[in-house]
Structure 1
Amino acid sequence: MTRLLLSRSWPARFVRIAVLVSVGWWFAKDLVYAQLPVSLEWPNTDFENSLVDLSEIQSGGPPKDGIPPVDNPEFDSIGEASKWLNPREPVVAVSIDGETKAYPIQILIWHEIVNDSIAGIPLSVTFCPLCNATIVFDRRVDGVILDFGTTGRLRKSDLVMYDRQTESWWQQFTGQAIVGKMAGTLLDRLPASIVAYEDFRDAYPDAQVLSRRTGRQRAYGNNPYRGYDSVDDQPFLFFDPVDKRLPPMERVLDVSVGDAHKLYPFSVFKTAPVINDEVAGMPVAVFSRPGTLSALDGSVIADSREVPSATAYDRRLDGKIMRFELRDGHIVDSQSGTRWNLFGTGIDGPLSGRQLRPAPGSVHFAFAWLAFHPESQIYGQ
């Protein structure tokens, strides 16, 4: 090897040049692809059919699928996952017809999309780190199952996805196709919650957890967006005016009923960990619990600061409007005294085993939600 490195012969020189070019291309290819004219990188996308001004869509740096989705996910048992997943790390919990899975944010932060199925329902679990937006979609449209990837582009700092069947572009935040053949089509959202792994583990001991065996080498457990969720920071590649009603990076839980939207800022949970409210005629209960680790704080997620988890439910049960409170550290309904967990399940008392219906909504950064839904109400304001 030393002889090859020092030799002045032309064959040795060619070998050295070839190695340098190969290494240089390995590091530079993503940048090169990211700078290609959009029509060359996306020859199958119909850019004439667009719902938005294309100038609003910015390159985030990586090329098409430069952030690779997980297409054939493998899963661990709770026992296996507990060997590598910190009890307080955030996971996305999805439960359909009795089948439940968890998708750790430490994996989603590197892939942003997992194409999977639960109980026979094809779905995509999506996470945009820049908006702290986790949204789960049914990926069936008119009987066709779509597979989603990342375009490497952003609009209002939010992930722009694409489907591999038509190469239409989709806004992750709204679930709507905004460019291409499918423009105007809306995906159906599926209920999901972000909770600490230990809460998921205790509630669903027989569930499955997305494995680190993704076929990719990534620093799972590390956070490539260190310090991004400082509450007063400015979002990346966001050029709209920031809504002044909340700090831009404040975490919020939205509850959406039809065209009505209400936000519950995480800052209110310190004094109001359980909230009884109403949104567009729906009686709503918001449950929160401290102790989940932020995935966007420290360089290692397990060493990051704590933030709350929050979930929302329709508080109607058997024709009655339930009322909830925090009693001795537990969520309890005032009518029966039953104790409930973050997943809206009665776990101790007369209503043990009963399930509240999830209210439509999820957790985001305030700037992102208000950029797409500026008419939203804010709890406490």
Structure 2
Amino acid sequence: MRRVLVLVGLVVVLTGCGHKSEPERAGDEFGASGADLQYGTCKDCIPAIDEPQFESKDEANEWLEDEDLVVGLDYQGEHKAYPVKILNWHEIVNDKVIVTYSSLCGSAVVFASEVKWGVSGRLKDGCLVVYNRETNELVSQLDSDLERVPVQVLTWREWQTAHPTTVVLSAEIGGDRDYEVNPYPELAQREVVYEVEVGEETKVYSLEVIKRETADDGVLMDVVGGEKIRLSYSQGEIMVENLKTKQKIIPVRLLSR
């Protein structure tokens, strides 16, 4: 079992859903006991986006505000932004990679997969559980063996400044959802933290601590899992490197309570 270390007394509690009825099951294959899963809503009640359309930065500036959050992806020479105000309503975008966003946890995780995934309606530790549409396998967003792709959660201003050629997930998806309405307004004031995992140990850093500790030179040095790490912060982007192995570590953004 991995150890979780918490910095500056910040305790991370992931928000769950109180709905306990048993809607349609998405599947029974899971890498952990079914007792670890909770029911949030029914299978595909939150619809994934299967045919994402993208627009230019200039077009997106007509409806995105500077401080709106986006999930930013720099992958295979392409820069793409997925607005959180859209992801709150869909949680999965089946693109060249699989973009997942747990509205309850505030966690954005991107997987390399050629299979389409859907929202299972279940939760694990209060966070998103996705399902494989070919095998019906259930996979926790935060605890899976799928290959992860680095991703950032930034303000729209920060992302478009750093990546001026970016394209943006279009809000012209169909349906009657109002993406200007936050379906989870009570979560807006939660503090943002980042998990960094090395081996069997995980440390949790609040964004406030990261900004403070990197204010002078943009770098925070620490030890996680017995390995020295370097956390860099610049213009909203967070990079973590294991100094011994020279491997990049993908931090996971979460909301605390």
TM superposition score category, shorter chain reference: 0.7 to 0.9
Once the 2 structures are TM-superposed, how far is the Cα of residue 90 of structure 1 from its aligned partner? 0.8
Q: Name the counterpart of 1:156.
A: 125
Q: 1:283 to 1:35 in 2, by over 3 A?
A: closer
Tell me how far apart the structure 2 counterparts of residues 82 and 113 of structure 1 sit (CA, whole Å).
23
Q: Name the counterpart of 1:79.
A: 58
Tell me how far apart the structure 1 counterparts of residues 201 and 221 of structure 2 sit (CA, whole Å).
14
Once the 2 structures are TM-superposed, how far is the Cα of residue 359 of structure 1 from its aligned partner? 3.3
Once the 2 structures are TM-superposed, how far is the Cα of residue 91 of structure 1 from its aligned partner? 0.6
Q: 1:129 to 1:50 in 2, by over 3 A?
A: closer
Tell me how far apart the structure 1 counterparts of residues 185 and 128 of structure 2 sit (CA, whole Å).
18
Tell me how far apart the structure 1 counterparts of residues 248 and 48 of structure 2 sit (CA, whole Å).
27
Q: Name the counterpart of 1:287.
A: 233
Contact 1:191 1:358 (8 Å CA) reproduced: no
Q: 1:357 to 1:90 in 2, by over 3 A?
A: farther
Q: Name the counterpart of 2:90.
A: 111
Taking CA–CA contacts closer than 8 Å with sequence separation of 6 or more, which of the two structures ends up with the larger relative contact order?
Answer: 2
Where structure 1 has 5 or more consecutive residues not aligned to the other structure, the ranges are 1-33, 118-122, 140-144, 177-185, 232-249, 290-308, 317-355, 368-381
Once the 2 structures are TM-superposed, how far is the Cα of residue 260 of structure 1 from its aligned partner? 3.6
Contact 1:257 1:360 (8 Å CA) reproduced: no
Bigger helix share: 1
Contact 2:227 2:242 (8 Å CA) reproduced: no
Contact 1:253 1:310 (8 Å CA) reproduced: no
Contact 1:151 1:162 (8 Å CA) reproduced: yes
Q: How does 1:2-17 map to 2 (within 5 A)?
A: none
Residues 1:251 and 2:197 are matched in the alignment: no
Tell me how far apart the structure 2 counterparts of residues 256 and 127 of structure 1 sit (CA, whole Å).
19
Q: Name the counterpart of 1:343.
A: none
Contact 1:193 1:362 (8 Å CA) reproduced: no
Q: Name the counterpart of 2:176.
A: 217
- Larger C-alpha radius of gyration, 1 or 2? 1
The counterpart of 1:361, out of the listed 229, 232, 251, is 251
The counterpart of 1:91, out of the listed 60, 66, 70, is 70
Residues 1:53 and 2:27 are matched in the alignment: no
Tell me how far apart the structure 1 counterparts of residues 148 and 209 of structure 2 sit (CA, whole Å).
26
Contact 1:91 1:103 (8 Å CA) reproduced: yes
Tell me how far apart the structure 2 counterparts of residues 312 and 102 of structure 1 sit (CA, whole Å).
18
Q: Name the counterpart of 1:196.
A: 155
1:45-77: CA deviations, max 9, x gaps? 3x3x5443323322213x211100001000011
Q: Name the counterpart of 1:138.
A: 112
Once the 2 structures are TM-superposed, how far is the Cα of residue 138 of structure 1 from its aligned partner? 0.8
Tell me how far apart the structure 2 counterparts of residues 365 and 92 of structure 1 sit (CA, whole Å).
15
Tell me how far apart the structure 2 counterparts of residues 159 and 104 of structure 1 sit (CA, whole Å).
18
Give me the CA root mean square deviation: 2.5
Once the 2 structures are TM-superposed, how far is the Cα of residue 95 of structure 1 from its aligned partner? 0.7
Q: Name the counterpart of 1:11.
A: none
Q: Percent identity?
A: 31
Contact 1:160 1:170 (8 Å CA) reproduced: yes
Tell me how far apart the structure 1 counterparts of residues 182 and 161 of structure 2 sit (CA, whole Å).
26
Tell me how far apart the structure 2 counterparts of residues 149 and 187 of structure 1 sit (CA, whole Å).
15
Q: Name the counterpart of 2:9.
A: none
The counterpart of 2:49, out of the listed 70, 82, 90, is 70
Once the 2 structures are TM-superposed, how far is the Cα of residue 201 of structure 1 from its aligned partner? 1.1
Letter matched to residue 58 of structure 1 = Q
Contact 2:195 2:253 (8 Å CA) reproduced: yes
Once the 2 structures are TM-superposed, how far is the Cα of residue 254 of structure 1 from its aligned partner? 2.0
Once the 2 structures are TM-superposed, how far is the Cα of residue 229 of structure 1 from its aligned partner? 4.3
**TM-score with structure 2 setting the length:** 0.80
Tell me how many residue pairs correspond in the alignment: 231
